[in-house]
């Protein structure tokens, strides 16, 4: 994509002055319109060192109302960021509806610096690019406008600019040490960058190559492209074009509607209190030891609890956590999303909360709400929850590629047992707060939840994040099954990774 670019393009100072005022006013108008239309915008700047990125970005920022944008300068990750997958740093920064997030260098620069130094798109880099593609597609599917610029100059021009900077005694303050090679070896990075641009140029998130040898031309091109993209996006929204949303649904595995996984579950399994107590003690001791293995080896663990109201999620979590070191685990209860969360992609809140390397995140409900309660209660539309199976699998794949162990429990019980427990809660003073009118309402939709759960179990049981159905009519049996599953899975993973 960089080969046939005409780098001689330029405009005069006079033309520039004439154009810039008009472009500035247009962008101001569009920013306000995007705000009203709830359109979130992500703008990525990539390019060569000394391509003038700083000045071009600053000129662009001056066209904007600072109330509605954030600029993120991407540099070396801090310690906390190193404990999470690369894309986490960017997921947590996506703009809310109507806002603009501008990335001064982005996930691409980081991918280049952190995942490849070999000068071509190899297997490792391809895997990394897959994760980036998931990210971008999930954003555009959800209505985000994504604009990507690559500021291009020739090797000769770059060298000339380096010489001038040196002559004027201006140090390259911002360039980190890790970027020295990228700074100096244009020819090595050219084919790599070409490969990346080609692989990540998609219809809904295309690259714009900006001829940047003439700074005025480059600035005008950036502003004009932003205007064009925003106008097109607004047109699409007004026309209510749903094509991107439809695109991927067909990719999902088609569920076998006739066969219900949950129908075949044997809910009669049980344990005596004596068996339970003895086994619990052994398991808690074991898990206490295993948590330190995870910590020592910097392996994050995610344990998801989903299941019927009153199926014993809370009790299971409490027993699992009882002997754990509170510095190493956190229980994350997932409830109604906040305004802030509703204003962004639904996975945003979950990216914000993933455990760092070596830590344990225990989820009391989770991102599966999208295909359970949000589906059943019409809190999102059909496109959204159908798309979610794939999005969730990709989310878990990214976590798993980073090294995270993912264990997911569906706590299953029958309707009679639930009724018994609801009544028990109503009759025990210190348990009354646990039972709300919502619980009774949900119960009326038992069959809708049942088929949603069934479809979820089929579509999101992957090799990297399989579901375990926990027979929960008997609490003792359920808790011990949870313990055993967690222990076995961790031990297996440690073994596979050559640790134990």
For the segment 411-450, give every residue that binds a second copy (CB under 8 A).
430, 433
Q: Which is nearer to a second copy, 78 or 254 (CB)?
A: 78
The least distance separating a second copy from the CB of residue 220, rounded to whole angstroms, comes to 18
Question: For a second copy, which residue of 97, 188, 199, 330 counts as binding (CB under 8 A)?
Answer: 330
The answer for 202, left when phi > 0, alpha when psi is -120 to 50, beta otherwise, is: beta
Residues 166, 148: Cα–Cα separation, whole Å: 30
Among 17, 18, 38, 80, binds a second copy (CB under 8 A): 80
- With contact defined as beta carbons under 8 Å apart, do 144 and 236 qualify? no
Provide, rounded to whole angstroms, the least separation between the CB of residue 454 and a second copy.
Answer: 28
Identify the residue whose tokens are 């006079």.
Answer: 14
- Distance (Å, whole) CA 255 – CA 261: 11
Q: What three-state secondary structure class fits 449?
A: helix
- As measured in angstroms, the least distance from the Cβ of 61 to a second copy is 6
List 8, 239, 243, 338, residue binding a second copy (CB under 8 A): 338
Q: Considering only residues 6, 66, 266, 444, which one is a binding residue for a second copy as defined by CB under 8 A? A: 66
**331 vs 407, which CB is nearer to a second copy?**
331
Span of 114-122, 150-158, 320-328, 459-467 interacting with a second copy by CB under 8 A: 320-328
Least distance to a second copy, CB of residue 21, Å: 10
Residue 165 contacts residue 54 (beta carbons within 8 Å): no
Residues of this chain, 6-35, that bind a second copy according to CB under 8 A: 25, 28-29, 32
Q: What is the DSSP string of 302-317?
A: EEEEEESTTSSHHHHH
User: Which range of residues in 87-95, 219-227, 240-248, 327-335 is near a second copy by CB under 8 A?
Assistant: 327-335
Cα gap 341→330, rounded to integer Å:
20
Residues numbered 122 to 141 that lie near a second copy (CB under 8 A) are: none
- Residue 399 interacts with a second copy (CB under 8 A): yes or no: no
**Shorter beta-carbon distance to a second copy: residue 114 or 364:** 364
What's the burial of 133, exposed, middle or buried (CB within 10 Å: 0-12/13-18/19+)?
A: middle
Instruction: Find the shortest distance in angstroms from Cβ 150 to a second copy.
Output: 18
Q: Under the criterion CB under 8 A, does residue 94 sit at the interface with a second copy?
A: no
Ordered alpha helix ranges (H), 240-347: 243-247, 273-296, 313-321, 339-342
Q: How many residues bind a second copy (CB under 8 A)?
A: 43
- 360's enclosing H/E stretch is strand 360-364
Question: How far is residue 208's CA from residue 1's CA, in Å, rounded to a whole number?
Answer: 10
The Cα–Cα gap between 147 and 226 comes to 7
371-374 CB contacts, 8 Å cutoff, 24+ apart: 371/452, 371/455, 371/456, 371/459, 371/460, 372/306, 372/449, 372/452, 372/453, 372/456, 373/442
Q: What is the dihedral of CA 178, 183, 189, 195, to 10 degrees?
A: 80
Give the footprint of a second copy on residues 172-201 (CB under 8 A): 173-174
Give the SS3 label for residue 374: helix
**Distance of closest approach, residue 257 Cβ to a second copy, in angstroms:** 35
Please give the C-alpha separations between residue 447 and each of 81, 376, 436, in angstroms, as whole numbers: 42, 10, 20
Under the binding rule (CB under 8 A), the answer on residue 322 touching a second copy is: yes
Report the residue number, 78 or 203, with the smaller CB distance to a second copy.
78
Q: Interhelix angle for 475-496 vs 273-296, to 10°? A: 30
Q: Decide: is 62 part of the binding site for a second copy (CB under 8 A).
A: yes
Contact 442, 309 (CB under 8 A): yes
Instruction: Return the residue of 118, 127, 242, 296 that touches a second copy, per CB under 8 A.
Output: 296
> Is the Cβ of residue 241 or residue 499 nearer to a second copy in the bound state?
499
Among 8, 78, 263, 437, binds a second copy (CB under 8 A): 78
Residue 275 interacts with a second copy (CB under 8 A)? no
Among 318, 415, 420, 423, binds a second copy (CB under 8 A): 318
By C-beta, is 125 or 294 nearer to a second copy?
Answer: 294
- Window of 111-119, 247-255, 317-325, 377-385 that interacts with a second copy by CB under 8 A: 317-325
Which of residues 14, 251, 339, 444 is near a second copy by CB under 8 A?
339
Query: For binding to a second copy (CB under 8 A), which residues are involved?
Result: 25, 28-29, 32, 54, 57-58, 61-62, 65-67, 71, 73, 78-80, 104, 173-174, 292, 295-296, 317-318, 321-327, 330-333, 335, 338-340, 364, 430, 433
């Amino acid at each position: 994509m960089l080969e046939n670019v005409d780098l001689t393009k330029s405009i005069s100072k006079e033309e520039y002055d004439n154009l810039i005022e008009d472009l500035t006013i247009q962008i101001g108008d569009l920013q306000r319109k995007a705000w009203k239309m709830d359109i979130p915008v992500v703008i990525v700047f990539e390019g060569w060192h000394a391509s003038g990125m700083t000045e071009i970005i600053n000129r662009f920022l001056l066209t904007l109302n600072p109330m509605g944008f954030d600029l993120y300068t991407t540099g070396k990750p801090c310690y906390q960021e190193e404990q999470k997958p690369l894309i986490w740093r960017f997921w947590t920064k996506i703009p809310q509806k109507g806002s603009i997030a501008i990335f001064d260098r982005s996930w691409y620069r980081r991918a280049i610096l952190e995942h490849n130094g070999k000068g071509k798109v190899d297997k490792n880099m391809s895997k990394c690019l897959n994760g980036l593609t998931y990210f971008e597609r999930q954003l555009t599917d959800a209505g985000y406008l994504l604009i990507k610029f690559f500021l291009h100059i020739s090797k000769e021009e770059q060298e000339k600019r380096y010489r001038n900077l040196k002559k004027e005694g201006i140090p390259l303050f911002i360039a980190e040490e890790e970027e020295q090679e990228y700074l100096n070896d244009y020819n090595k990075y050219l084919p790599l960058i070409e490969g990346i641009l080609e692989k990540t140029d998609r219809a809904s998130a295309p690259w714009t190559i900006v001829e940047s040898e003439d700074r005025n031309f480059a600035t005008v091109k950036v502003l004009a492209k932003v205007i064009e993209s925003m106008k097109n996006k607004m047109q699409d929204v007004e026309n209510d074009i749903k094509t991107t949303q439809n695109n991927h649904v067909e990719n999902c595995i088609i569920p076998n509607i006739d066969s219900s996984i949950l129908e075949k579950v044997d809910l009669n399994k049980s344990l005596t209190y004596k068996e339970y107590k003895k086994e619990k003690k052994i398991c808690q001791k074991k898990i206490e030891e295993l948590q330190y293995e995870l910590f020592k080896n910097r392996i994050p663990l995610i344990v998801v609890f989903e299941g019927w109201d009153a199926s014993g999620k809370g009790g299971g979590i409490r027993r699992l956590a009882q002997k754990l070191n509170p510095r190493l685990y956190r229980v994350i209860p997932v409830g109604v999303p906040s305004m802030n969360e509703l204003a962004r992609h639904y996975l945003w809140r979950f990216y914000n909360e993933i455990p760092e390397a070596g830590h344990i995140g225990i989820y009391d409900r989770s991102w599966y709400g999208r295909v359970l309660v949000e589906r059943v209660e019409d809190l999102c539309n059909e496109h959204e929850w159908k798309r979610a199976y794939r999005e969730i699998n990709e989310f878990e794949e990214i976590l798993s590629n980073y090294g995270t162990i993912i264990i997911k429990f569906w706590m299953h019980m029958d309707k009679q047992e639930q009724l018994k427990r609801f009544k028990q809660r109503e009759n025990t003073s210190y348990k009354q707060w646990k039972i709300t009118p919502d619980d009774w309402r949900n119960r009326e939709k038992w069959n809708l939840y049942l088929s949603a759960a069934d479809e979820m179990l089929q579509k999101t049981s992957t090799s990297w994040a399989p579901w375990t159905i926990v027979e929960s009519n008997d609490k003792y049996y359920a808790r011990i099954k949870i313990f055993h599953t967690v222990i076995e899975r961790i031990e297996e993973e440690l073994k596979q990774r050559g640790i134990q």
